Amino acid sequence: MNSEIFIWPFNLGLYFILIYSVVRSTIWFRSLSRADKLRLQRGFFGMPFMQSIREIFMESLLHRRIFKKNPVLGYMHMSLAFGWFLLIVFGTIEADFFGERHLNPPSHAIFFRWFNPEHGASGLAAIYGHWMDFLLVFILSGLLLAVVKRFIPGMMGMKKTTRHTWTDRIALTSLWLIFPSRLLAEGFTCGVHGSGGFLTGNLGAALTSFLPAADIAPYFWWLYSLSLGTFFFLLPVTRYFHIPVELILIFMRNSGITTADRWSAYSEVQTHACSSCGICISVCQMSRAAGINDMQSAYFIKGLRNERDIAAITANCLMCGRCDEVCPVGIELGPLRLIERRQGERPATRLKFIDRYGLTRRREQIEREPTQSYSYLVPEEEEQADVLFFAGCMTHLTPSVIVAMKKIMESAGVMYRFMDEEGGVCCGRPLMLAGRDREARELINHNSDIIWKSGAKTLVTSCPICYKVFRESYYLEAQVMHHSEFINLLIEEGSLRLGYLHRRVVYHDPCDLGRGSGIYDEPRAVISYVAELQPVPEARSMSLCCGGSLGNLTLSSEKRALIAADAAGTLTRSAPDALITACPQCKKTFAQATETRVSDIAELVAVALPKPVRRTRSRSSANTVRTVADG
């Protein structure tokens, strides 16, 4: 048959993308570390494989996570992905079952109607034809939503959407053309032959009534094949590459591979698995409060993928982790940004292979021989203690927290040593957030030395920034506790006697304590013990960043003030008596941004302590008498 040439754009595209995917996956697999290779191999023959299949079904086909966040957006994704999947599956079955022979090439299933124009006149075949038509309607409904979303993002509950590159646009156009051209191609063919289901049959009959359907049909079959072929050929260089890569990502993640702190094949897989959906832009406070719309994770990942100069984007992030929480693909956006910060600057244009090699060598050189050093730090004398209290640099800027913690620990009879009372060494996390791990390690070693020598069982810190780094990057015997956990423990033990304050308060989850370390319940338990805790919008894992983040060294103070005012406004909407937080940085930032009283959790608890019995001097007792007489 002469006109069968039309199947070749599709065939070529399909074979190209299949071979490309296999080669690419092999390269990625080969460049994995030995440990990760083993993980993946083990995962492939065990439970993780089943988990991955389940996840692929739930997320890549049904898009459950997007569904939860936004049902309309979820339906759009589901109809396109799951609908197309069903169309392929049932199309293959149809070709296998009703076709001339078994085990057909894919093109026979895809262009089934062309090869079997008379098919489906009666019986089971007719019912099957209706079913295939239904699947097509399912997909087309999602496509309609996609077109609407592209032009009016607000209608789909999306505040912002990402900008497309020109290759993305061509791929998008070909994707949009696939299903309408299939509909029309099948319609015309069915019209000529008087076959087809409820959609293609009726449409075909209608079209044939006034058009020379037999002449037109081949053009639409060509268009159908061309759009499929174009889409497949462009796939690797567009955002739609996320569709096959997400499958690899799911297998890797379920096998236990993580981003860790170095660039790896897994990082690369993650950058290609990003669909540029823009959900990260919608939740970003720099977008919603400060009007910055070009540095969110979607753009960061896109820059990584295309090896562009993204130094400004990399640096301009609060590292609050809200986008990590909502990413439907589950990309570890914060850790990826940290890796990029460690790398230093990238050149503006794409690097040649040889230059890339040179850059890697230079980075290794810098890592071996750091230019800066904290060699002037002298090891401190050892001093024994059961409980060590480490206030941290930020808490030293909020002395009321230190005063409160001293009162609380004294009242509970805790024998503690104040590790950095006379000033200490930074915990190292600000340096890590700036991508300076080597320097951070020197500080970590210095502090670890003091903590180990003290023989302390517990290390209490009142700063979530220190808390996170103590837990994750220090090797310690002592149990690390945030002061909210420690106060909660003191209350549960019964060593702290507290009164009840008749105050309505709200609690703000600091990024590094909540999302960063998973401590949500202990601060709430402590607050509820001494006051009336009111709910706030966007609590717990979706908590807002105060705007004072140490993770961003480029954001101007005006923009920070806007973010702080927006966050404080959201938190104090119920007009509480006080805004309670558990981080000195959040406290300082919010104090400038709201008229509501801002206190640390320790300050709130200190107020609830029983009044100390004072040794009364004669003068003050005379005062008391006079006051009573006046009253």
Partner 1 sequence: MKEKTKHVIVAGGGVAGMEAAGSLAEMGIRVTLVEKGEDPGGHLLQWHALFPGRRPAEEVRKYLRKRIAHENINVITRTTVEKVRHHGHEIIADLSGGTQERADALIVATGFDLFDAHRKEEYGYGIYDNVITSADLEEMFNRKRVVRTDGSVPSRIGFIHCVGSRDEKVNNNHCSKVCCVSAVKQAIEVRKLLPECEVFCFYMDMRMFGPYYEELYRESQEVHNVNYIRGKVSEASVNINNRLVIKVEDTLAGRPLKMELDLMVLMVGMEMSKPGARLAETSGLSTGINRFLESADHHYGSNRSGVAGIFYAGTCTAPMNITDTISHSRAAVEETVRYLGSK
Question: Which residues ranging from 520 to 549 are in contact with partner 1 (CB under 8 A)?
Answer: none
The interface region with partner 1, picked from 212-220, 223-231, 395-403, 604-612 by CB under 8 A, is 395-403
Q: Of the two residues 381 and 558, which places its CB atom closer to partner 1 in the complex?
A: 558
The interface region with partner 1, picked from 185-193, 236-244, 321-329, 391-399 by CB under 8 A, is 391-399
**What does the alpha-carbon distance between residue 508 and residue 333 come to, in Å, rounded to a whole number?**
23
By the rule CB under 8 A, 607 interacts with partner 1: no
Q: 377: which residues sit within 8 A by CB, 6+ positions away? A: 425, 442, 443, 446
Shortest approach of partner 1 to residue 604 CB, angstroms?
15
Q: Of the two residues 12 and 561, which places its CB atom closer to partner 1 in the complex?
A: 561
Q: Of the two residues 71 and 399, which places its CB atom closer to partner 1 in the complex?
A: 399
**What does the alpha-carbon distance between residue 584 and residue 505 come to, in Å, rounded to a whole number?**
18
**What does the alpha-carbon distance between residue 565 and residue 592 come to, in Å, rounded to a whole number?**
9
By the rule CB under 8 A, 441 interacts with partner 1: no
The interface region with partner 1, picked from 3-11, 459-467, 490-498, 555-563 by CB under 8 A, is 555-563
Question: Which residues ranging from 469 to 498 are in contact with partner 1 (CB under 8 A)?
Answer: none
Q: 22-61 mask for partner 1 (x: CB under 8 A)?
A: ----------------------------------------
Geometric angle at alpha carbon 415, from 410 and 416, rounded to 5°: 90
Strand (E) positions, 69-227? none
Paired strand residues for 598: 579
Paired strand residues for 388: 417, 459
Provide DSSP, 484-537: HHHHHHHHHHT---------EEEE---TTTTTTT---HHHHHHHHHHSEEEP-S
Counting runs of H as helices and runs of E as strands, what totals does the chain give? 31, 8
Which tokens is 241 given?
A: 């590459």
Instruction: Give φ, ψ of 461 to 5 degrees.
Output: -130, 150
Tell me the C-alpha to C-alpha distance, in Å, between residue 20 and each of 24, 82, 232, 245: 6, 23, 10, 12
By the rule CB under 8 A, 282 interacts with partner 1: no
Among the listed residues 453, 442, 439, 444, the one whose alpha carbon sits nearest the alpha carbon of residue 380: 453
Out of 92, 275, 398, 447, the residue judged to bind partner 1 by CB under 8 A: 398
Out of 31, 557, 620, 623, the residue judged to bind partner 1 by CB under 8 A: 557
Out of 11, 33, 167, 592, the residue judged to bind partner 1 by CB under 8 A: 592
By the rule CB under 8 A, 402 interacts with partner 1: yes
Q: Of the two residues 396 and 504, which places its CB atom closer to partner 1 in the complex?
A: 396
275-308 as b/e, with b when 16 or more CB fall inside 10 Å?
bbbbbbbbbbbbbbbbebbebbbbbbbbbbbeeb
Half-sphere exposure of 383 (CA within 13 A, CB side): 10
The sign of the torsion formed by the CA atoms of 403, 405, 406, 412 equals positive
Out of 124, 351, 403, 553, the residue judged to bind partner 1 by CB under 8 A: 403
By the rule CB under 8 A, 366 interacts with partner 1: no
The interface region with partner 1, picked from 87-95, 220-228, 289-297, 396-404 by CB under 8 A, is 396-404
By the rule CB under 8 A, 397 interacts with partner 1: yes
Shortest approach of partner 1 to residue 463 CB, angstroms?
14
By the rule CB under 8 A, 581 interacts with partner 1: no
**Contact call for residues 96 and 104 (beta carbons, < 8 A):** yes
By the rule CB under 8 A, 295 interacts with partner 1: no
591-603 as b/e, with b when 16 or more CB fall inside 10 Å?
bebbebbbbbbbb
Q: Which segments of 200-321 does DSSP mark as H helices, in order?
A: 200-208, 213-234, 242-254, 265-273, 279-283, 285-288, 297-305, 311-315
Q: Of the two residues 152 and 403, which places its CB atom closer to partner 1 in the complex?
A: 403
With H, G, I as helix, E, B as strand and everything else as coil, classify residue 197: coil
User: Residue count at the site for partner 1 (CB under 8 A)?
Assistant: 16
Paired strand residues for 389: 418, 460
Shortest approach of partner 1 to residue 38 CB, angstroms?
50
Out of 156, 588, 594, 607, the residue judged to bind partner 1 by CB under 8 A: 588
Out of 98, 591, 594, 607, the residue judged to bind partner 1 by CB under 8 A: 591
**Contact call for residues 311 and 293 (beta carbons, < 8 A):** no
The interface region with partner 1, picked from 54-62, 251-259, 390-398, 440-448 by CB under 8 A, is 390-398
DSSP class of residue 61 equals: I
Shortest approach of partner 1 to residue 493 CB, angstroms?
28
Shortest approach of partner 1 to residue 398 CB, angstroms?
5
**What does the alpha-carbon distance between residue 361 and residue 349 come to, in Å, rounded to a whole number?**
19
Q: Of the two residues 74 and 464, which places its CB atom closer to partner 1 in the complex?
A: 464
The interface region with partner 1, picked from 253-261, 308-316, 392-400, 451-459 by CB under 8 A, is 392-400
Out of 123, 423, 494, 631, the residue judged to bind partner 1 by CB under 8 A: 423
Q: Of the two residues 208 and 585, which places its CB atom closer to partner 1 in the complex?
A: 585
Shortest approach of partner 1 to residue 251 CB, angstroms?
48
By the rule CB under 8 A, 358 interacts with partner 1: no
Contacts with partner 1 by CB under 8 A lie at: 396-400, 402-403, 421, 423, 557-558, 561, 587-588, 591-592
